Amino acid sequence: MEKAIDRQRVLLQHLGFTSLSSPQPHRSDISVSVCSAGDSGAYERTAGFGDDIAIVAACRTAICKSRRGGFKDTPPDDLLATVLKALIDKTNINPSEVGDIVVGTVLAPGSERAIACRMAAFYAGFPDTVPLKTVNRQCSSGLQAVADVAVCIKAGLYDIGIGAGVESMTIDQIDQPRQINPKVDNFPQARDCLLPMGITSENVARQYGVTRQEQDQAAVESHRRAAAATASGTFRDEIIPVSTKIMDAKTGKSTSVIISVDDGIRPNTNMADLAKLKPAFKADGCTTAGNSSQVSDGAGAVLLMKRSLAMKKKLPILGVLRSFAAVGVDPAVMGIGPAVAIPAAVKSAGLHLDDINLFEINEAFASQYVYCCKKLDLNPEKINVNGGAIALGHPLGATGARCVATLLHEMKRRGKDCRFGVVSMCIGTGMGAAAVLERGDCVDQLGNVGAVDDNGLLSKDAL
């Protein structure tokens, strides 16, 4: 720290300032808290460097097609146990040090899945002293779990936590509520909360002018990128192999297998074949099975702690959680959620959209994905560079944790030219969520980032 301050003092002297505390011609608050933070923004560094909420490990299972894929005979607690154990194996922390495990999960009845998740923690080797809870904010549940853990660590409730997600859409399907309050007809937006997700996709396409061709092209690109990432081994660092069994429905015999590859990717997907598919939700619609996310099984998990503790334990820091935002939108067009949530999260981090190097935006439906990217005027080369949910699949409760793992490992691969990333998704009943993450090895010892209203320095390199 002293060396950094000395360097800053020399710089200020070269700029014509005789001391750090004397009056200065360009601005009155120049101090050692102003230092480099990227090419396009000025940031204030504080002494809270050690309080950064660091992610030291993030992993996932492969994502498999429900009812037909590699996990069709695998209990969801086995999927969750695999990624929980992997976090411990990767970091060698004592499981008893974990203050809480928060698991995003959506479709199963709450008490039933909460019990299964608690059992998974025992399978993974956690002692009974480590508590666990489940959280359900629908498609953002895995990301919400990560955010909840980060908040608790920041508040000092515990030092180490795990945010995770799991879903078996083989076992649990999307169903309408068992009982519906009759007053819903007097509240149009409450009524729209009951719309099938596919109808909300059609609403987005119609209301915002997203064509069938645009949707099918997004699907082709998702599969192309996912296939390329798989072929090159890109996902190896994030996928934890699962030892399980697959039963032959005809013979009833089980075969032991190790599942380590996403099995929903179709490398040969093309526009001609997609054009042959009929609309899935409306006879005159444009949302098809080919340009929607796949129904899938999978799990993901993220290990968080303060940067100071990670440094003390000599753990590599994969990323830092800079902000999180959840927003509400019209339930009838719930897919627009990321277009509102992303600007909110980016602003909260003291950044601009142009500062973001990579985006992981969940492809619930191509209609809403295309709309959000166009609305925010995002560079297609920055978004879902390894494919998205149309190709990989969307195990609802696990998707948020999966996206965090995929994003951070890709940022690590890209190195110094990739500093900030965003994870975002739409949420059923009309919401959106987003988080801003910073690559963990690119923050110097002067601390956190926060917005600076203006600066009196000479070049972007000094901002």
Sequential DSSP letters for 328-388: E--GGGGGGHHHHHHHHHHHHTT--GGG--EEEE--SBHHHHHHHHHHTT--GGGB-TT--
User: Active-site residue 426, yes or no?
Assistant: yes
Q: How far apart are CA 60 and CA 403, in angstroms?
A: 9
- Residues forming a β-bridge with 87: none
Q: How far apart are CA 335 and CA 325, in angstroms?
A: 16
User: Active-site residue 59, yes or no?
Assistant: no
Burial class (CB in 10 A: 0-12, 13-18, 19+), 115: middle
Number of residues in the chain: 463
Q: Are 159 and 306 in contact (CB under 8 A)?
A: yes
Among positive and negative, which fits the CA dihedral 102, 104, 110, 113? negative
Q: How far apart are CA 140 and CA 345, in angstroms?
A: 14
Residue from 35, 373, 394, 409 carrying the catalytic annotation: 394
Burial class (CB in 10 A: 0-12, 13-18, 19+), 318: buried
Residue from 117, 139, 418, 442 carrying the catalytic annotation: 139
User: Active-site residue 139, yes or no?
Assistant: yes
Q: How far apart are CA 436 and CA 89, in angstroms?
A: 27
Q: How far apart are CA 231 and CA 250, in angstroms?
A: 32
Residue from 64, 117, 372, 426 carrying the catalytic annotation: 426
Report, as residue numbers or ranges, the catalytic residues.
Answer: 139, 394, 426
